[in-house]
Amino acid sequence: MYVTQKALLLPLLAATLLALPGGAAFADEAKKPAADVANKPAATEAAPKTSPSDILAKVNGTPITRGEVDRALKVLLAQNPSRQPLTAEQTKQAQEATLNQLITAELLYQAGTKKEIKDLDKQVEARVTQSKAKFPSTAEFEKALSTNGLTEKDLADITRKDIVITKLVETEVVAKISVPDAEIKKFYDENKDKYFKQEAGVRASHILISVDPKAKPEEKKAAKEKAEAIRKRLLAGEDFATLAKSESGCPSGKQGGDLGFFSHGQMVEPFEKAAFALKPGELSDVVETQFGYHIIKVTEKKDAGTVPLDQVKDKIQNYLKNQKTQKALADYTEDLKKTATIELTK
């Protein structure tokens, strides 16, 4: 239901945000054997000149090339992998959508360059240095650049655009948006049943003395006696989490036996029945299930009902602000297009 501001801006800035070293697609390419990039130009070599046929669009005279579109599309597809390869028609649509995003990013960048950003060069240098630091060596960094068809200058340019666009959006769009309490309350009231209902649940920890269901009677007896002895130690004051770590046969023992919250139907019936019957802080009798013998301690309970507004107010506010930001950003870019010269040359 909820999205972050970063996720909201991502479709528009994907070409600049995700092409950085350390990004998922970039890092995956960096893991390929050196032979895969042996025939590609080194990262420090000058980029080849762009021929007119490679230019797909111009934004106020600034070209957007086929290589930029291909690189950005590759990154976007890596962020949303599909089990099936794209059809020819889907590929065409994806290329057109990516070109439109790059046009929007260029418009935002050009608008952003009209505003002063203090120490921009230093910020770019620092970000590129951070990108380099994500690689074990300079050679691996340069290999990743080359694999993605980038030079270090390209990386610096991409980073500069990222900083400029982000600053523009923050100051010209996001900073002007507010979400009054009345809007939050209205959304909450209108969506109680859809988003804010909670089932009854308990948070419990347990110590499990494991025993095979097919074990011999004497083995089961020994396991139960061990569980009873541990329960007595707990009643005598020993720490539950400490005993769970040393005695429990459940992987949850590493977390002190904590199973987190669960609702009805998520645990085997004898365990669930015992857990829901306990009050917070209470210790169960030894409970037998097909897994063995359990000692259960409930640490928290939630009744079925509606989540109070004060518990979800911040999430609702973020959600509504992101919705407003999305519309405001679209309106802002449409205004930029009205005074821009955009040429599609393909």
pLDDT value of position 35: 32
- Taking only the tens place, the pLDDT of each residue in 311-346 is 999 999 999 999 999 999 999 999 999 999 999 986
Lowest mean pLDDT among 72-76, 186-190, 271-275, 321-325: 72-76
Nearest CA-CA partner of 129 in 6, 19, 20: 20
The DSSP secondary structure of 114-182, one letter per residue, reads TS--TTHHHHHHHHHHHHHHTSSSHHHHHHHHHHTT--HHHHHHHHHHHHHHHHHHHHHTGGG----HH
Q: How much is the pLDDT for 56?
A: 94
Count of domains for the chain: 2
Residue 192 located in a structural domain:
no
Residue 65's H or E segment, with its range, is strand 62-65
Residues 162 and 203 in one domain: no
Q: Are residues 301 and 319 in the same domain?
A: no
pLDDT digit string, tens, across residues 20-31: 433 433 444 333
- How much is the pLDDT for 49? 55
- pTM > 0.75: yes or no: no
The partner residues of 301 in beta bridges, in order of sequence, read 202
Domain identity same for 96 and 211: no
Whole-number percent of the chain with pLDDT over 70: 84
* Same domain membership, residue 97 and residue 78: yes
253-261 long-range Cβ contacts below 8 angstroms, 24+ apart: 253/207, 253/208, 256/205, 257/205, 257/206, 257/207, 257/297, 258/203, 258/205, 258/299, 259/203, 259/204, 259/205, 259/206, 260/203, 261/201, 261/202, 261/203, 261/300, 261/302
For 170-208, what is each residue's pLDDT tens digit? 999 999 999 999 999 999 999 998 999 988 999 999 999
Question: Looking at the structure, do residues 220 and 240 belong to the same domain, yes or no?
Answer: yes
Which residue has tokens 């994907």?
14
Same domain, 271 and 164: no
Based on the fold, state whether residues 25 and 138 are members of the same structural domain.
yes
* pLDDT at 82 exceeding the cut of 90: no
Indicate whether 35 and 9 sit together in one domain: yes
Structural domain contains residue 310: no
Cα separation, 94 vs 142, in Å, equals: 29
Distance between first and last Cα of the chain: 38
Token digits of residue 66: 């086929």
pLDDT for res 11:
42
CATH number for the domain spanning 125: value is: 1.10.4030.10
Residue 64 lies in domain: 5-181+315-344
pLDDT tens across 203-256, in order?
999 999 999 999 999 999 999 999 999 999 999 999 999 999 999 999 999 999
Question: In angstroms, rounded to a whole number, what is the distance separating the alpha carbons of residues 11 and 4?
Answer: 13
Determine the average pLDDT of the residues in 268-297: 96
